[in-house]
A = this chain, B = another copy of it.
């Protein structure tokens, strides 16, 4: 019998897929603005956008998440991680129920080596039974039973409570070296 592998749960938005990049693209186009990721340090897009929290309207489009760019190196590193860890994808899909199909199809297109059994659509990630959770939202770590690993995003750069990774090469260094 194989030894039990430690488990890593991985968030999708802003960790595997470039949700913020797509938001900026749509927002800049529709509001004739030219915001970049560097304009958001420590803030969310809604705090600096001309339209405020109305930017969240983009999530209401069921296809919004379907064509996100893949975050660099995420495919290669997650595939490598699978040799030593049991990998689950855990995404807070319940915040935007219209996005279920697009999220699933995007995963199947870009991460077809993750079996359906290991994909989780949830809300509160304290329900995830894993040793590690790689996520850009620190609040998800507060009740998580394992170790939270904060994936850097513009909105979390002031967070200091958790180990941080800035990119997928740093994830590889942390888990595979």
Contact = CB atoms under 8 A, between A and B. Distances in A.
Interface of A: 7, 9, 88, 90, 93-95, 97, 100-101, 104, 115-124, 126-130, 145
Nearest to A101: B100
Given A119-B123, A121-B121, A97 B104 contact: yes
A120 B119 CA distance: 10
Contact of A128 (B100, B115, B129): B129
A121 B93 contact: yes
Chain A interface main SS type: mixed
Contact of A121 (B88, B120, B129): B120
Nearest to A91: B121
Contacts of A116: 94-95, 97, 123
Most chain B C-beta atoms within 10 Å of own C-beta, residue among A7, A93, A117, A128:
A117
Contact of A118 (B9, B124, B128): B124
Contacts of A104: 97, 100
Contact of A94 (B7, B95, B119, B124): B119
25 contacts: A7-B127, A9-B127, A88-B127, A93-B121, A94-B116, A97-B104, A97-B116, A100-B121, A115-B123, A117-B123, A117-B124, A118-B123, A118-B124, A118-B127, A119-B122, A119-B123, A120-B122, A120-B127, A121-B121, A122-B122, A126-B129, A127-B128, A127-B130, A128-B129, A129-B129
A40 B17 CA distance: 45
A88 B35 CA distance: 39
Contacts of A130: 127
Contacts of A118: 123-124, 127
A8 to B, nearest CB: 11
